[in-house]
Amino acid sequence: MKKLLQDIKNRCYCAKNGRLFVTRGVPFAHIVWNTYNSDNKINKGECIHHIDRNICNDDISNLRKMTLKEHMSLHKKGIVNTEEYKKKMSESLRGRVLTEEHKNNISLALRGKKQRIDNMKKALKGRIAPNKGKPHSLETRLKISEKTKGRIPWNKGKTRGRLGKDENTSGEKMIKAYAKVYKHIKYGWRFTLVDQKNVLITRNYDYLSKRSAMNACTALAKQYGIDFVWRKDEA
C-alpha cells in the first residue's frame, strides 16, 4: 500500500502553497485517506483536515475527515483580525461606490438565484413543450368549460385599447366590432369577434348549432359592452 501511494505521490504536482494534487481539485491527502479507509471514503461536502495544520504533511496519522462546515468553523475558531488588518480593509474600501446593477448582482449571487436561473435557462434551451401545437380534445374542453362556468373573469368590466377605447369618455364608448359564425371541422360551430382593423378580440367554439354560437356571441358582447355588427353573410 505504501509503495502504491509513493508511486501516486511521484506523479503529483505541487501547488503554489506546497500542497500536492493528483489532478486538478483532487488533493493527494484524499487519495491517502480513501486508500486506508475504503469503508469510510470522502463524499461530496466533506474534506480532509490536517491535524498539525501543515498541509504538506499527508501522513495518515495527520489526517481527519470532516464536513466542509466543520472544517471552516475549526479554522476560524479563535481568529481575531488585528488592527492593522482592519485598517488595510478600511483603506481599500474607502471611496468605493457600488452601482445599482452591482448591488443587484451581489444580491442575486448571495441568494443563489442567478445561478439557478442560468442553469434553468440552459436546461430548457431548445426544449419543445410536449403539448405545443396540439389542441385540447373535446372531452378536455368540456371539462374546462364546466370548471369555469359561473366564474367571474378578472377583466370583467375593463376595457382594452384594441377594443376601441375612447380616452375622452374613460373607456365607456366602444367602436363597432364585427362578428362571424362558421362551422369548423374539428371544433364544431364557433364565433369570432374582430375590430375594424380585423384584429381578433375574442373567439369561442364547441357549439352544437349556429344559433347557439350566435346567442353566445351576443351575450359575450353585451357582457363586455362591445357594440358589434354581423358580417353580411351572418346577418
- Could you tell me the residue ranges of all domains in the chain? 2-76, 158-234
Task: Say what the pTM is.
Answer: 0.34
More confident residue, 148 or 25: 148
Quote the pLDDT of residue 167. 39
DSSP 8-state class, residue 214 = H
CA distance 205 to 187: 6
The CA-to-CA distance between both ends of the chain, in Å, stands at: 95
CA distances from 140 to 146, 147, 163, 187 (A): 10, 11, 30, 12
Closest CA to 185 of 160, 165, 212, 206: 206
Closest CA to 197 of 162, 224, 166: 162
The answer, yes or no, to whether residue 162 has pLDDT greater than 50, is no
Radius of gyration of the chain from Cα atoms?
36
Quote the pLDDT of residue 107. 77
What integer best gives the mean pLDDT of the chain? 77
- The beta strands (E) that lie in the chain are given as 13-14, 20-23, 26-27, 46-50, 63-67, 177-184, 188-194, 200-207, 228-230
Decide: 27 and 50 in contact? Cβ < 8 Å: no
Quote the pLDDT of residue 233. 60
Look up residue 55 and give its amino acid: I
Which range of 44-53, 75-84, 105-114, 193-202 scores highest in mean pLDDT? It is 44-53
Helix (H/G/I), strand (E/B), else coil: 9:
helix
CA atoms within 13 A on the CB side of 9: 14
